[in-house]
Amino acid sequence: MSPKRKPLTEAAIQDDFAPQAVEQLRQSLNIPVVTRQPEPTPPPEPQSEEPLKVATKRLNVEIPLDLHRWLKGYSGREGKSITDVVIDLLSSLRTTNE
């Protein structure tokens, strides 16, 4: 099995051969000089609309089974996690009572 060859790059040509000799060869063989266009810079990633992370504290609460079933169903219909629903409800309650 023959060893793999490194691809021939412009840098390798410039390192191995005198630039004048390369240019002379290009002209004699009518090889056009091709310059690479720089790749366009990709657009910046859109800023996510997630709120900034806030410091949190864990709260474990035992609730009646029927309330948990309701909470689970409600969060599913809203497309939110149970945690998000509880936070929304508690925040709403806090706002109402301030």
Please state the pTM of the whole predicted model.
0.46
Distance CA 32, CA 25 (A): 11
In a domain, 56, yes or no: no
Q: Can you give the pLDDT of all 98 residues of the chain as single tens digits?
A: 566 766 666 666 666 677 777 778 778 888 777 777 777 888 877 776 776 788 889 999 999 999 999 999 999 999 999 999 999 999 999 998 88
Examine residue 72 and state whether it is found in any structural domain, yes or no. Answer: yes
Does residue 74 lie within any of the structural domains? Answer: yes
Domain contains 48: no
Range of the domain at 78: 65-96
The answer as to whether 8 is a domain residue is no
Domain count, the chain: 1
User: Is 90 domain-assigned?
Assistant: yes
State whether the Cα torsion 57-62-65-66 is positive or negative: negative
